[in-house]
Amino acid sequence: MKLNIVLLPGDGIGPEITKQAVAVLETVAQKFGHELHCTEHLIGGCAIDATGHPLPQDTVDACKAADAVFLGAVGGPKWDNLEVRPEVGLLGIRKALGLFANLRPAKLFPELAGACFLRPDIVQDGIDVMVVRELTGGIYFGEPQGQEVRDGLRTGYNTMVYNEDEVRRIARLAFETAMKRDKRLCSVDKANVLEVSRLWRTVVEEVATEYPEVELSHLYVDNAAMQLVRDPNQFDVIVTGNLFGDILSDEAAVITGSIGMLPSASLSSGGVGLYEPIHGSAPDIAGQDKANPLASILSMAMMLRYSFNLEDEAQVIEDAVQRVLRAGHRTGDIAAAGDSPLGGSKMGQLVVDELSN
């Protein structure tokens, strides 16, 4: 198969982890006889430096013409005070590609139980939660948004808004996801306070009638955040809006060992998919070969699975990651006290070596 991939390494640790993930992809492509064609484009702070804008038009055009897109991370202190920040590029490409569904699988590899902050008895059966985050609506995109002087006071505002179509399509995707798993779906909102959440809940209930086999529950987001650390295995699939999903998935990441472990797939209806680790550009460790590349490597596996339907190839990557962990190899973020951690490039090389064996 021919795989036309656009790479958007971005800023901070983005280029480091992208390099490791691409090495893994190249190894798998060669092993299975796929023809890989990767082109690199600018997004985020590096795009601002080179072109004055975080999402140049040729990046959008290249992504639209690709089979799939892989992104490292964007942002960093250098660009934090600009009016148009690097993050605008990421939001822009999600919108331009219609990537309304963000799948964030929080899975604790049993080998990493020691890196999990939860009590051993809570995680003895592992953790396997799929967070389905709405990605192109909600408070991230709602209008009006801005800053102005009101009654002599500087005032900032955003709008949390969803229409029924936006809720219905993410709810359907979440129910479909639950059908392929343990058939339990928890919708997370703030319906005790927010009108937008009341509509969300109504529409999710309507969609539920199409999926009688799925057990649907609802939680308020504050309780959900608490339940996720109290007893993560009560969840199978979580569906929620853009902002709540952003926050809950970072929480879900740390209970699986580290934010450096959690991959993601951003999907549209039938168009090109974008794959990225859920973490950011980690300016505190950038350029030091400390970043864990496994979230990125696992994002490549998701790309093979969701964009190309190459399940065996995806599985081979996930198995190789597991074997590397089983052999005791750890980057700093997942290392136990006293371990001498590996660099990110060494970790990537170990996965490549596993695949080559």
138 labelled binding-site residue: no
Q: What is the DSSP letter of 338?
A: T
Contact 357, 320 (CB under 8 A): no
Using CB under 6 A, pick the residue from 24, 63, 74, 228 that binds ligand NAD: 74
Residue 161 burial (10 A CB sphere; 0-12, 13-18, 19+) = middle
Asked if residue 292 binds ligand NAD (CB under 6 A), the reply is yes
Catalytic residue among 222, 312, 319, 353: 222
Query: Which of 16, 134, 166, 246 contacts Mn ion by CB under 5 A?
Result: 246
The answer to whether residue 330 forms part of the interface with ligand NAD (CB under 6 A) is no
Does the footprint of Mn ion cover residue 276 (CB under 5 A)? no
Residue 284 C-beta: closest distance to ligand NAD, Å: 5
Q: Please compute, for residue 297, the number of CA atoms within 13 A of its CA located in the half-sphere on the CB side.
A: 31
**Residue 16 in the binding site for ligand NAD (CB under 6 A):** no
322 annotated as belonging to a binding site for a ligand: no
**Does 190 qualify as catalytic in the annotation?**
yes
Pairing of strands 68-73, 273-275: parallel
**In this structure, are residues 88 and 103 in contact, taking their beta carbons and an 8 Å threshold?**
no
Give the binding-site size for ligand IPM (rule: CB under 6 A): 7
Bridge-partner residues for 38, per DSSP?
5
Q: Which residues contact 38 (CB under 8 A, 6 or more apart)?
A: 5, 6, 7, 22, 25
**Annotated catalytic residue within 11, 140, 162, 333:** 140
Nearer to ligand IPM, 11 or 354 (CB): 11
- Residues 320 and 175: their CA atoms lie apart, in Å, by 30
Quote the CA–CA distance of 247 and 221 in Å, as a whole number: 10
The one-letter amino acid code at 134 reads E
Residue 354 engages ligand NAD in binding (rule: CB under 6 A): no
Strand-pair partners of 20: none
- Choose the one of ligand NAD, Mn ion, ligand IPM, none that binds residue 91, judging by a C-beta under 5 to 8 angstroms depending on kind: ligand IPM
Q: Are 30 and 357 in contact, with CB atoms under 8 Å apart?
A: no
**Is 287 annotated for ligand binding?**
yes
User: Active-site residue 189, yes or no?
Assistant: no
Site for ligand IPM, residues 222 to 281, rule: CB under 6 A: 246, 278, 280
Kindly state the smallest distance separating residue 299's Cβ from ligand IPM, in Å.
12
Q: Is 49 in the site for ligand NAD (CB under 6 A)?
A: no
In whole angstroms, the minimum distance from the beta carbon of 295 to Mn ion comes to 12
245 binds ligand NAD (CB under 6 A): no
- Contacts with ligand IPM, 71-110, as mask; x by CB under 6 A: ----x-----------x--xx-------------------
Compute the C-alpha angle 111/114/117, nearest 5°: 130
Q: Least Å distance between CB 250 and Mn ion?
A: 6
353 is catalytic: no
Per-position DSSP letters for 71-121, written without gaps between them? EEE---GGGTTSSS-HHHHHHHHHHHTT--EEEEEEEE-GGGGGG-SS-HH
Residue list for the binding site for NAD(+): 280-292
- Give the binding site for ligand NAD (CB under 6 A): 13, 73-76, 87, 90, 259-260, 276, 279-285, 291-292, 295, 333
Q: Please give the positions annotated as active site.
A: 140, 190, 222, 246, 250
